[in-house]
Structure 1
Amino acid sequence: MTLNLLFFTVIIRKRKTSTKEYLHQQRIEKLMDEHKNRQITHQRLL
């Protein structure tokens, strides 16, 4: 009789973002919000 066992360990760590990455992400979110607002304004005019 043969017993084969296989174990996996998965480690999930929260990624630490640098200040530069954080500021970049904030800028992207701001630009996306501005773009959405422009789209809404444009749709109302039509």
Structure 2
Amino acid sequence: MTLHLLFVTITVKKREQSIEERLHEEKVVETLNTLKDRMYSDVRFY
């Protein structure tokens, strides 16, 4: 996508992810979800 504003041109391209980057991102999301679940289990709702 290209956007022209006065004398400035901005070009945005879709970022390609490698397999290693994708696997790392999935592992990070899984870890965050696990930590979030542990946090909720420690909170006591009265």
Q: How would you bin the TM-score normalised by the shorter chain? A: 0.7 to 0.9
> Where in structure 1 are there 5+ consecutive unaligned residues?
1-5
Higher strand share: 2
C-alpha root-mean-square deviation of aligned residues, in Å?
Answer: 1.7
Higher helix share: 1
Q: Which runs of 4+ in 1 moved over 3 A?
A: none
1:41 maps to what in 2?
A: 41
TM-score by length of 2: 0.77
1:23 pairs with 2:23: yes
Count of residue pairs brought into register by the alignment: 40
Work out which of the two has the higher radius of gyration on C-alpha atoms and give 1 or 2.
Answer: 1
Residues of 2 paired with 1:27 and 1:17: CA distance? 15
Larger RCO (CA within 8 A; separation ≥ 6): 2
For residues 5-46 of structure 1, the C-alpha deviation after alignment (integer angstroms, 9 at most, x for no partner) is x6221100011000000000000000000000000000138x
> Where in structure 2 are there 5+ consecutive unaligned residues?
1-5
